Amino acid sequence: MRKITKESAKAFVNFEPYKKDNTEVSYYYNYRDRVELPVRCALLYLHGNCIAEIYQDGKEIMLTDNYDDFVGGKKRVKIDLCGWHTPTTRERINGILDALGYDFRIAQRNHEQVLVKRVPNFIFNPDGESSKTYSQDILKLSDDSFDPDFAEKVFESSEFVSGTDLNAIADF
């Protein structure tokens, strides 16, 4: 992973500004529905295209300019390739997925964008020794955008079939 990917992913998950070459992270606070529930947002841009967004609800606090007291609640993440199926776009997104703790990555298989999760398989030999191999579970992406939390639920489902189109699944 390139240094710029690591730095931008770190800034993204920590809601910090970052700008270097073709990559930029911006963040802001917003209040929803005229209540005192702040929403913190970070956006990751690659060549001016917003490829990742993260929103975090905060606890109810009084309207103030002191955001050091912000205590985050639920996070929501959205990823979008924006039509750019390049190695650089996939690398930046994979850096974010890694920083957020997801155990799958975006890759390209047969000119299609897919999510790939490595799955360990243990083989037990008759002499009592075991060996570890890996297989891959794959989710196809018919659309450039996806919700990583939803993809994680699909991967963990007992109904999951490798090669399933993630965006064709209604709900889990």
User: Same structural domain for residues 35 and 12?
Assistant: yes
For residue range 72-123, list pLDDT tens digits in order.
567 889 999 999 999 999 999 999 999 999 989 999 999 899 999 987 777 7
In whole angstroms, give the CA distance from residue 121 to residue 124.
Answer: 10
> What does the pLDDT read at residue 62?
45
The answer on 32 and 4 residing in a single domain is yes
Regarding whether 96 and 25 lie in a shared domain, the answer is yes
Of residues 110 and 34, the one with the higher pLDDT is 110
- pLDDT tops 50 at residue 12: yes
User: The dihedral of CA 12, 13, 17, 18: what is its sign?
Assistant: negative
- The per-residue pLDDT for range 20-29, each reduced to its tens digit, is 999 999 988 7
d(CA 18, CA 141) in angstroms, rounded, equals 29
- Number of domains the chain contains: 2
Q: What is the pLDDT of residue 128?
A: 67
Q: Are 7 and 52 in the same domain?
A: yes
Please tell me whether residues 107 and 81 are part of one structural domain. no
What mean pLDDT is predicted for residues 58-78? 60
94 & 107 share domain: no
- Quote the pTM value: 0.79
**Region for 166 from its dihedrals, namely left if φ exceeds 0, alpha if ψ lies in -120 to 50, beta otherwise:** alpha
Residue with the bigger pLDDT between 147 and 69: it is 147
pLDDT digits (tens, 9 = 90+) for 127-168: 767 666 677 888 888 888 898 988 888 888 877 778 788 877
Residue 72: which of 40, 99, 102, 35 has the closest Cα? 40
Residues 91 and 7 in one domain: yes
* Confidence (pLDDT) at 100: 92
Residue 3 belongs to domain spanning: 1-101
Distance CA 41, CA 38 (A): 10
The reply to whether 51 and 95 lie within a common domain is yes
Residues 64 and 149 in one domain: no
pLDDT, position 59 = 59
